[in-house]
Structure 1
């Protein structure tokens, strides 16, 4: 029975859903729910289920999903520490926000994102206004919203084990309070989740006793003597503060004024978007329910609910567009629509136009076309000379789909070796991720070795090169971003992949990326896979001893800090540490966080270094604690049975082309200082083996010299001079031998800083000078190094003219904000342009070096194996007898690399060493 009938409501109710509360509840309810490639889906699934239950059981005519916006709101102005104790929003939750918003609108429901206020304020304002003309049901279990209850306002929580339905009368009966008293109660009790202190010693029961005598804060203040002495003692010193706390607990009633009842009308389900979302995030169990909902809507949806909603952007909130095509605004998808290949054109031309009366129906597509199951090689189509696609739409643990060109999908249920032998006869194997394919079974690696990397087509890698700004190149996302125009006749996943391959290859050809793909990135994939499989050995005993020593130092530092503070506290807590530093010890607080509390960031503490001994102790504590928590404690637990740790190299993670490392990240292992040296010494060679470390010397500056053709830089590198001393000599008008250590350090800062787009303000911070002095320093720098100035200007001009920049190896990065009228966005785009040209070209260099080392016959014969790539360094494991010879060969190969098939104008110098551990080899 619907709520309308259960509550005996005379009119259709308005449903106002506290979306943020359900998003957080769904996220923390099941942290393990994820897509087959690891993308988290827990919040998305839970919110979707709640929304579909509401649509199915309530058939709402009016519905609004309200979600918190970003940034501060008016409560931070009242109390800067409001919610300051909350942890940062988990990345896995942030990643789901956009899909959730898409799902809300795809289901025909309205979305409001509150800015300058909270979702609760928007709900309270709408409830107060709309309840004058019809019933309002607040979909939430949040205690803060209880103050909204009234004669025509109810609260309903459908996601509890047992649903909760609350009216104003029930609230009063249960609590002895009226909804209007609730903000006063919360002001006294406080709220730890929102960092509202409240009055110490007063909990809900004590507050109830107080309000039996004095029913409001004003009564407490004006009739204080009526309260028992014990309660007076608790309240006496907080009579002013409690009114401040009430301002925080009282919901605003004057926001979201731009929303009218008609804007909350529920629309028909957008079937196309629902299908795309279900495929992208593998919501297979929900797809039939969506079709059922659409069928129900078509049979009983009120006519006026089909009006297109308006959009709003006023008074504290913004209204999300009601129905945005999933691919609109996405660079990759727009590009796919523009490629002229036969398969793409055929798919696009067969797709009906979307518009009034042409919406696709879930009833037609809710049931996926079931691919026939095939389990024996004899039943597979002949694929000799044809392209074959292999897709694992349910993840690599499930059955793959296979298809040959112009054929239909089959679902392979047989052995992986049989499938591999069949596919070996193909012209090319198309798959979303070669590195994942190689992990499925050894036979794929053997097949790649017999053929060559270009026997495979990696869809994700191609999409990455075309647009490296995306964060997800897994099959579900590829199918949505690139598959839209190719779905006209309902191809299966594998057949869709074949069509997608044609589009992506054509687009790479068009953008000049095909050589980069075929000669560098594609051959690198199996090299990375081999490196991941090998791992690197670690010395468990050395880790344990190191951990014991670090823990001992942490205990000593903790005791020192407690002694100075005069009390024990959580040194890891920013708030508690700030209280000690800036309240107890009265150190100057340079700045405050967005939450309003004093900053205890690394930058802040470094500025305070030397002002008090405790600051130096805390800085040392943080350095050691990071070492303990990031490396010493977790890494030994990640060892396999052979005592080796295996990382994952991410080939599609950065816009500049640099590789990254994760699970664990071995590219951030400390290198400098005593701790860094000892940390690296814990990584060891296997029995009878040695480690060879080969590291490019200042490769980014050498790339800069080559690309800028600045005479001073070219001469310095060709003569083997100290580049930073040479730069300092030019900037300060001194002979090189008279350059001081500080002057060299300043030159080094600007040399490297300009590569990363450092401006005057950042340089001033680094050199501890004024911004004007930093501007003068930069001006002097460019006046002496005129080639650099011309180069940076040419990069900016090229970016403006083309809309992108290109590296030496042909890698490109799109820069949509290079023409932005927003100064901040433009400045960022300019920094990205320079950074990409230099860092991206350096990435091309190190990747070419990896290919040269991995493919060298001499190193292969000596059984040298590439283990790690860390920034500009390669680490190999080699039999001890061959280590010296291997080091010489690696340095020779790395020095001969030619990005863009041309040698650099300056030599590529490689520093190398051999040792039984990483520390001694580096």
Structure 2
């Protein structure tokens, strides 16, 4: 029988892909990098080999003869990383969906299966290619069996090929002798102990001379060098065991049908569905298939006539629930927020057989569609869309109290994702897959249908996970509050901004000259490589850290050196100022609209903890540590006749921590309005309250806030520039002072390890998958997340409640004042001059009463003619 077969060592290639690619996760939170890498390697091999047959062999996770033998010697094999382990069944499912033969057998390792199949096929006159990352398989190489070992270099896969002659040329031994070579030198990656004191060079010399370990042992007195002779005598039992471990069986007893391994069309509809689910979008072009047909498309209809649209809206208004989307007036349907094109129409669904794409053309105007959608939103029980806030740029939503944002719901259920598209929700909640090549109107209908059909499963899951109240009472009202804030915008004095930029420019030039003078030459300060050479080679500064690409000039490295070297202080200041100029002085100008205001975006589905983020521009990262950074706030001003009123929660996260931990002393301190940082310093440093120094208070403040973020002894030592031992004592003393906090944090981490998530006071869940990582650093990060997320998330929930309440009060009272900014724990209201006292009262009442805690919520309030003064 002629022909060619490719045999793949499943676990070996999966393992190589896992460690060769960065971590990837799909919409369901599944790790997928190993599967993705495996498939890329397999496709490359198949394109090169063009075989008639293919088989992938896997190890069975049950003890084999070799497992047991090694266990007797030294415990068990290193456990597989959890992130890799979960991908093993996935790759098997994908391969089966592609019609690819897989094989595994209890009591045999994949090597034995591959060795036996390769021998059988060679005897049938076939050409064999064995794909593995394990060089043990080189012993299988012959004139007709080729061993192919993939290697990843600079993100690209290269493959080393070995026939028998290539093994001899590379290792100076035959494939059969390669077993003996491994027996002497060992292989820690494959748990082959080898003989102590015999490395690769010595092992190669011995085997090339004696050809086997048995022959070498017979002439052990003659083996050179003497230490190798001694080692072989003393550890002969290890050599024998190592050879047994290294030997692959080529005559194992198991059933195998070559015909089952025959390759057909691997790009099946079933496989396409898996690739969609795993989000391997750049591999989908390999398929010449359409997505599995979904019967729901039978109910999709295009509408271009006003009479038909009237009939549809009349029916929609009587429905219990509708799903709606807006599409852009472009050739291709794009997400609403992409580009600047106007709306091209709407999609609307109120039942499986009632899904329509209504175009804004002929006698159907967009004004007509806006009015009819508004009527529908007011009459139905549930009005569902994806990203309602973005849609409101085109539509008017009348029934806000019963609106359902499916994007927000999907975010709450899985806050670790990067985005939440209707395609993801269709796949995850409805088991529907949208064909990328589908017609535009079909895509519109799918979005509207998904918005309608996902209401029930999303609602059920939110209720099941006890987040329905969070969704309906906090997140959905927030959608409309954020929309109002975006529409309000905040005024920026363009001329003041230019002046601020010029001021920064002058200071930057001054710093450049001072740095050049100190260094003795000009160079690119922004080039880490050039800067490293100047500082650590030319100037000879001590404390440099060499990396593969040169000296590290990262901020944490330079900050340690700053106290001893004035040039470092100037470089750090230079970096801050150039960042200020590019990001804010120059960057903000691009966002000023014709009305003189910046209408940024506030995002509620970005952070895993639930905090609101700010983009286009990001106003939450304005530097506040340096005065020159704070001055940027001066360019933000109210309209004429208005002032800014700024309200900022005082230590909200520490207050939340006091409530959650139920620590009696911390609660009492807040109830008595004591200086928490001074009190902590008094306890930690054993100093009378009245005698606490400013430095002690600053250090205690670092401990207080550090504890909230799960800070380590090392982290605290870095923050306070003290040794780790002293930092550890600070933390230990802190927990003695507030024992309730220690118990709370320990219990929170324990709960997260058991349940896989942590919860805020308002029911928001934050998954912590890092706690199950095989990587120590990842697990440590997970513990810090588990400690902090309930605190930060609860504080974020409280702020959201307060924002909505303040915004509603301003509107209900028909006031001219408007909420314009939210930054972390701070709200900024552009306040009409006659409404200042009323606005202050509203802010105080709504912010301080947003939640009922064991300690009071306190708000600091200021007014000003610009944001700088108000803060």
TM-score if structure 1 supplies the norm length? 0.63
Q: Which of 705, 725, 728 in structure 1 is aligned with 2:681?
A: 728
Deviations 1:272-324 (A, max 9, x none): 4535766998989987x8335xxxxxxxxxxxxxxxxxxxxxxxxxxxxxxxx
Distance, in Å, in 1 between the alignment partners of 2:712 and 2:282 is: 50
Q: How far does residue 138 in structure 1 lie from its aligned partner after superposition?
A: 14
Q: Which residue of 2 aligns with 1:386?
A: 320
Distance, in Å, in 1 between the alignment partners of 2:5 and 2:499 is: 70
Contact preservation (8 Å) 1:539, 1:682 = yes
Q: Which of 899, 902, 912 in structure 1 is aligned with 2:861?
A: 912
Larger radius of gyration: 2
Q: How far does residue 691 in structure 1 lie from its aligned partner after superposition?
A: 1.4
Residues 78-157 of structure 1: pairs in structure 2 closer than 5 A: none
Q: How far does residue 373 in structure 1 lie from its aligned partner after superposition?
A: 0.4
Distance, in Å, in 2 between the alignment partners of 1:149 and 1:530 is: 61
Distance, in Å, in 2 between the alignment partners of 1:144 and 1:792 is: 41
SS of residue paired to 2:551: coil
Q: Which residue of 2 aligns with 1:290?
A: 287
Contact preservation (8 Å) 1:661, 1:667 = yes
Q: How far does residue 879 in structure 1 lie from its aligned partner after superposition?
A: 1.5
Contact preservation (8 Å) 1:107, 1:268 = yes
CA spacing shift, 1:916–1:62, aligned 2, 3 Å: farther
Q: Which residue of 1 aligns with 2:383?
A: 429
User: Do structure 1's residue 756 and structure 2's residue 690 form an aligned pair?
Assistant: no
Q: Which of 395, 399, 408 in structure 1 is aligned with 2:335?
A: 395
CA spacing shift, 1:502–1:751, aligned 2, 3 Å: same
CA spacing shift, 1:741–1:807, aligned 2, 3 Å: same
Q: How far does residue 370 in structure 1 lie from its aligned partner after superposition?
A: 8.0
Deviations 1:598-619 (A, max 9, x none): 2101111111113333212111
Residues 312-461 of structure 1: pairs in structure 2 closer than 5 A: 362=291, 371-375=300-304, 376=306, 377-380=309-312, 382-383=315-316, 384-391=318-325, 394-396=334-336, 399-414=345-360, 415-416=365-366, 417-418=368-369, 419-421=372-374, 423-424=376-377, 425-439=379-393, 441-444=394-397, 447=398, 451-453=399-401, 455-461=402-408
Q: Which residue of 2 aligns with 1:38?
A: none
Q: Which residue of 1 aligns with 2:414?
A: 467
Q: Which of 492, 505, 518 in structure 2 is aligned with 1:551?
A: 505
CA spacing shift, 1:104–1:633, aligned 2, 3 Å: farther
Contact preservation (8 Å) 2:148, 2:161 = no
Q: Which of 496, 503, 520 in structure 1 is aligned with 2:457?
A: 503
Q: Which of 805, 824, 829 in structure 2 is aligned with 1:876?
A: 829
Residues 691-710 of structure 1: pairs in structure 2 closer than 5 A: 691-710=644-663
User: Do structure 1's residue 525 and structure 2's residue 525 form an aligned pair?
Assistant: no
Number of residue-to-residue matches in the alignment: 665
SS of residue paired to 1:481: helix
Q: How far does residue 808 in structure 1 lie from its aligned partner after superposition?
A: 1.5
Contact preservation (8 Å) 1:468, 1:654 = yes
Distance, in Å, in 2 between the alignment partners of 1:146 and 1:812 is: 40
Q: Which residue of 1 aligns with 2:840?
A: 887
Contact preservation (8 Å) 1:859, 1:889 = no
Distance, in Å, in 2 between the alignment partners of 1:812 and 1:635 is: 35
Q: How far does residue 855 in structure 1 lie from its aligned partner after superposition?
A: 0.9
CA spacing shift, 1:465–1:133, aligned 2, 3 Å: same
Q: How far does residue 108 in structure 1 lie from its aligned partner after superposition?
A: 8.8
CA spacing shift, 1:592–1:108, aligned 2, 3 Å: farther
Distance, in Å, in 1 between the alignment partners of 2:383 and 2:280 is: 24
Deviations 1:740-766 (A, max 9, x none): 111111110110001011011111111
Distance, in Å, in 2 between the alignment partners of 1:137 and 1:801 is: 43
Q: How far does residue 436 in structure 1 lie from its aligned partner after superposition?
A: 2.3
Distance, in Å, in 2 between the alignment partners of 1:633 and 1:726 is: 44
Deviations 1:774-811 (A, max 9, x none): 11111111112222222223323433454432212221
Q: Which of 595, 598, 607 in structure 2 is aligned with 1:654?
A: 607
Q: How far does residue 122 in structure 1 lie from its aligned partner after superposition?
A: 8.7
Contact preservation (8 Å) 1:433, 1:474 = no
Q: Which residue of 2 aligns with 1:673?
A: 626
Q: How far does residue 621 in structure 1 lie from its aligned partner after superposition?
A: 0.5
Deviations 1:336-388 (A, max 9, x none): xxxxxxxxxxxxxxxxxxxxxxxxx8575799758220133224161214211
Distance, in Å, in 1 between the alignment partners of 2:154 and 2:764 is: 53
Contact preservation (8 Å) 1:471, 1:653 = yes
User: Do structure 1's residue 782 and structure 2's residue 735 form an aligned pair?
Assistant: yes
Contact preservation (8 Å) 2:491, 2:638 = yes
Distance, in Å, in 1 between the alignment partners of 2:593 and 2:7 is: 57
User: Do structure 1's residue 719 and structure 2's residue 672 form an aligned pair?
Assistant: yes
Distance, in Å, in 2 between the alignment partners of 1:145 and 1:514 is: 46
Which one is further off, 496-505 or 833-842? 496-505
CA spacing shift, 1:434–1:62, aligned 2, 3 Å: farther
Contact preservation (8 Å) 2:373, 2:395 = no
Distance, in Å, in 2 between the alignment partners of 1:613 and 1:264 is: 72
Distance, in Å, in 2 between the alignment partners of 1:853 and 1:145 is: 55
SS of residue paired to 1:402: strand
CA spacing shift, 1:603–1:401, aligned 2, 3 Å: same
CA spacing shift, 1:369–1:545, aligned 2, 3 Å: same
Deviations 1:183-204 (A, max 9, x none): xxxxxxxxxxxxxxxxxxxxxx
Contact preservation (8 Å) 1:13, 1:134 = no
Which consecutive unaligned segments of at least 5 residues does structure 1 have?
1-9, 16-47, 65-98, 111-120, 153-257, 293-360
User: Do structure 1's residue 738 and structure 2's residue 691 form an aligned pair?
Assistant: yes
User: Do structure 1's residue 274 and structure 2's residue 287 form an aligned pair?
Assistant: no
SS of residue paired to 1:837: helix
Deviations 1:640-680 (A, max 9, x none): 10111122111011121111111211111123332133111
Contact preservation (8 Å) 1:667, 1:870 = yes
Distance, in Å, in 2 between the alignment partners of 1:868 and 1:373 is: 42
Contact preservation (8 Å) 1:291, 1:366 = no
CA spacing shift, 1:13–1:718, aligned 2, 3 Å: closer
Contact preservation (8 Å) 1:656, 1:836 = yes
Distance, in Å, in 2 between the alignment partners of 1:571 and 1:286 is: 45
Q: How far does residue 907 in structure 1 lie from its aligned partner after superposition?
A: 1.6
Q: How far does residue 426 in structure 1 lie from its aligned partner after superposition?
A: 2.5
Distance, in Å, in 2 between the alignment partners of 1:281 and 1:801 is: 29
CA spacing shift, 1:60–1:684, aligned 2, 3 Å: farther
